[in-house]
Amino acid sequence: MKEITEKITHPENIGISQTVAILIDGNNIERSIHSEADNTNTMLNLDALVPKLLVNRGLSRLVYFREGKHISEKLQERLHNFYHGSVRPCYKSADIPLSINAIQLANKVDTIIIMSGDSDYIELVRHLKSEGVRVEIAAVLKTTSQLLKDEADYYHEITKEDWFTLAPKKTQVRKTQARKTQARKTQARKTQGRSQKSK
């Protein structure tokens, strides 16, 4: 009788050829990390976060949706140069343009990672899953809807290791110092006025 030997397959021997689209609700994520860090100069560190999200999968698209007309040229340049990504300005909220883009990408990628904790995306997640797309959520835990987490195939927590704080601009420092000086002068005048009245 011949002995059957099993070949043990190790995970590192398995080739994964999944393609991933990362869609970022910029305003939602920015508000979340500003709130968590208690600092509006805090920025998402995509260089640290994107490789963690992808693991060993390929990046097909990276789109950063942001409300408003004033979008950092440095951010646009960095996304383009490092990830062939883009920034899409939104008239109001990012949820509608992000949802439209996700639906358009559904038959082009294996996985869509939505970077937002907003419960507005629950129906989008359900729809994408019904189309056979794996849907993952990446967001700050405190500002993530539990229903959204439950609906997703996987949840990535964004933590302080995934953001950095910019040094305040010199003009901001000067304005802050000027405000403090003005406040001291005003306080000194009030104190001086009180002491003259008491005489």
pLDDT at 104: 96
What's the mean pLDDT in 128-135? 97
What number is the average pLDDT over the span 19-32? 94
Higher pLDDT, 112 or 199: 112
Pairing of strands 42-44, 134-139: unpaired
Q: Is the pTM of this model over 0.85?
A: no
Percent of the chain with pLDDT over 70: 80
- Count CB-CB contacts under 10 A for residue 128: 23
User: Nearest to residue 67, comparing CAs of 29, 11, 109?
Assistant: 29
- Best mean pLDDT range from 10-14, 82-86, 182-186: 82-86
The per-residue pLDDT for 91 is: 82
Task: Report the range of poorest mean pLDDT among 41-45, 94-98, 189-193.
Answer: 189-193
Phi, psi angle pair for 16, to nearest 5°: -110, 125
Per-residue CA distances from 164 to 34, 91, 172 (Å): 11, 27, 18
**pLDDT of 1 over the 50 cut:** no
Look at residue 125 in the predicted model and tell me its pLDDT. 98
